[in-house]
Structure 1
Amino acid sequence: MQIPNLPDIIHYAIPFFVITVILEGFIIAKHSKKKYKTKDAITSITMGIGNVLVGLISKVIVVGAFMLVYENFRVATIPFTWWAWLLIFFLEDFAYYWNHRIGHRSRFFWASHVVHHSSQEYNLSTALRQTWTGSFFSFIFWMWIAFLGFHPVMILMQMSISLLYQYWIHTELINKMPRWFEFIFNTPSHHRVHHGSNPLYLDKNHAGILIIWDRMFGTFQPELEEEKVIYGLTTNINTYNPLKIAFHEWIAMLKDAFTAKTSLVNKFKYLIKPPGWRHDGTGVLSEDMLREWKEKNKKSQN
């Protein structure tokens, strides 16, 4: 099977990212009542540059793992044909959904993904605020695609396409897309919900390209006019320091695991349980916040 030489489209897209971030910043500063926080944007861009540099190292591990599975355990050999690209579009997006969803429901994975949610702003620069650690292990959610027989080159290309698609949805300049588009695809409106710290919006809309997975698996939440999105974390870190942004949750998680006066099993649970979990039952999870929010709104309506 001839393997095509496919470009790294993320690297080629960097000039586009820079131009559109500047353009959006100019539009917001000129026409929006909301102040554009340049320092926050610079921090997000710094995190993005760090992600690209770290990726030069982690990609060796990712490619090696995919090739190991593909060369030794694949059950078929999928050719580089149009129908294979169509099929991997859905398979990769499905893998991304579960990677993203677990990234919110397991603190170990959240420790890297929290970086992307740490900004209290929502604009194109926020899309560039990426993890420096997640690429070393998150690839496990895509390994089954190599097992099916898709070449690692195809998998990596489709992962890049998904990441590139998700760039444009990080904006408030686009309100709603056409109804049919909103039903099938991830959009700025859907993704604004995902970045919300409102109890109603927590752990919702984990889509990459297709919002259909959230609709199918019960994690879809539309953006409501009466519930304005509050961006950031339920407890914001309030820093522009890239090192703190990249590693603050890792430090907090390991501190909880090692200092908790409890059994080894419970210590391990600090790594795999959702953010907010505590062994003594005093922790507050996203579902607890949602339940309290619903009760409070129910009382206010009566």
Structure 2
Amino acid sequence: MESFTELLLFVTGVVVVISLIEAVVLSRNKNAATSFAWYEVWISLFDLAVRRLMALLPVSLATPLFSFVYDHRIFTVEINSALMVFALFIGLEFCYYWYHRASHRVRFFWATHAVHHSPNQLTLSTAYRLGVTGKLTGTTLFFAPLVWLGIKPEVVMLTLFLNLMYQSWLHTTYIPKLGWFEYVFNTPSAHRVHHASNVDYLDANYGGVLIIFDRLFGTYVEERADEPCRYGLVTPTTSRNPFVVEFEHWATLIRDVVKAKSPWIAINHVIQPPGWLPNGGGEMTEELRRKSKEPNACKVASG
């Protein structure tokens, strides 16, 4: 476990240094359409620092949950062959896909994950802005099936860490499409779509290392030259206060639950997608796409 912690700190340090080098280069680009926003980098560094401090506290739901599930495992699996490594990789990727999809489609999980999507520019520093409340929301439940099957919790966590490290390089705007690689693996092009707030791009490309589960379950959307990505949230976060960025979605969720006219409506505010309203007319992805296709949508948008 100590070696895992050292690996985590080392790799995280490398990612941060590379992101800062990128930030310096981008900030000096005189030909950029928009000026580089350094405050986005500082908020990401704040998020990372707080999460590292929280790692020192016994507040995670992962440890007790994984411990309980492993005690009741149905097998004991040893990762001692290439075939088992491949099976673990595919299993983790499958679990990650559903965790990531739920993080967009269940408002309770979105309240944390929205922090990752809050930057209005896409840079390498976006990769480590993950939301400081992640350890408290029980998202490890999505990876518990691997532990229940008999894989040691520390092996699952290491594999998840490697999966997230792969994704660091995806948060770029200057790497083009990569040919055949796009059909199997998650790429910067696919991930640009994932971070875009364009109506046509919402809720797409959830994969971690692979893109095959998006293709299999119908959530893959290709980046188009005629539809440039607009980064950030549908309702952009404009605050430079890191506490606002971290907790604004929790605040609005709690407000809606408290003001709900019935327990069932309160529950739905928690489990429905972001933008859900009890009487319709909200800003869920489906409603936004329907509105965008209405005859007067273009006139209203331009007006």
Q: Same fold (TM over 0.5)?
A: yes
Which residue of the partner structure matches residue 123 of structure 1? 123
Amino acid at match of 2:163: S
Amino acid at match of 1:14: T
Question: Do residues 191 (structure 1) and 188 (structure 2) align?
Answer: no
Displacement of 1:151:
0.7
Cα contact 2:48–2:129 (8 A) shared by 1: yes
For the structure 1 residues 54 and 297, does the alpha-carbon distance in structure 2 shift closer, same or farther, using more than 3 Å as the test? farther
Amino acid at match of 1:29: S
Cα contact 2:73–2:147 (8 A) shared by 1: yes
Cα contact 1:99–1:141 (8 A) shared by 2: yes
Which residue of the partner structure matches residue 22 of structure 2? 24
Amino acid at match of 2:144: M
For the structure 1 residues 298 and 113, does the alpha-carbon distance in structure 2 shift closer, same or farther, using more than 3 Å as the test? closer
Structure 1 distance, partners of 2:128, 2:67, is 28
Structure 2 distance, partners of 1:297, 1:79, is 60
Question: Aligned Cα RMSD in Å?
Answer: 2.0
Which residue of the partner structure matches residue 166 of structure 1? 167
Displacement of 1:284:
2.4
Larger CA deviation: 235-244 vs 219-228? 235-244
Structure 2 distance, partners of 1:65, 1:49, is 25
Identity %: 34
Structure 2 distance, partners of 1:87, 1:215, is 19
Which residue of the partner structure matches residue 272 of structure 1? 271
For the structure 1 residues 6 and 217, does the alpha-carbon distance in structure 2 shift closer, same or farther, using more than 3 Å as the test? farther
Question: Do residues 14 (structure 1) and 2 (structure 2) align?
Answer: no
Which residue of the partner structure matches residue 85 of structure 1? 85
Q: Secondary structure at the match of 1:126?
A: helix
Q: TM (normalized to structure 2)?
A: 0.91
Displacement of 1:57:
3.1
Amino acid at match of 1:159: L
Structure 1 distance, partners of 2:42, 2:297, is 41
Q: Which runs of 4+ in 1 moved over 4 A?
A: 295-300
Amino acid at match of 1:285: M
For 1:219-256, what per-residue CA distance to the aligned partner results, in whole angstroms no more than 9, with x for missing partners? 10001010010001111221121111111111101101
Displacement of 1:52:
2.2
Q: TM (normalized to structure 1)?
A: 0.91
For 1:93-152, what per-residue CA distance to the aligned partner results, in whole angstroms no more than 9, with x for missing partners? 111110110111111111111100111010001111111112221101011111111111
Larger CA deviation: 114-123 vs 26-35? 26-35
Displacement of 1:291:
2.2
Amino acid at match of 1:20: I
Cα contact 2:292–2:298 (8 A) shared by 1: no
Which residue of the partner structure matches residue 239 of structure 1? 239
Cα contact 2:60–2:135 (8 A) shared by 1: no
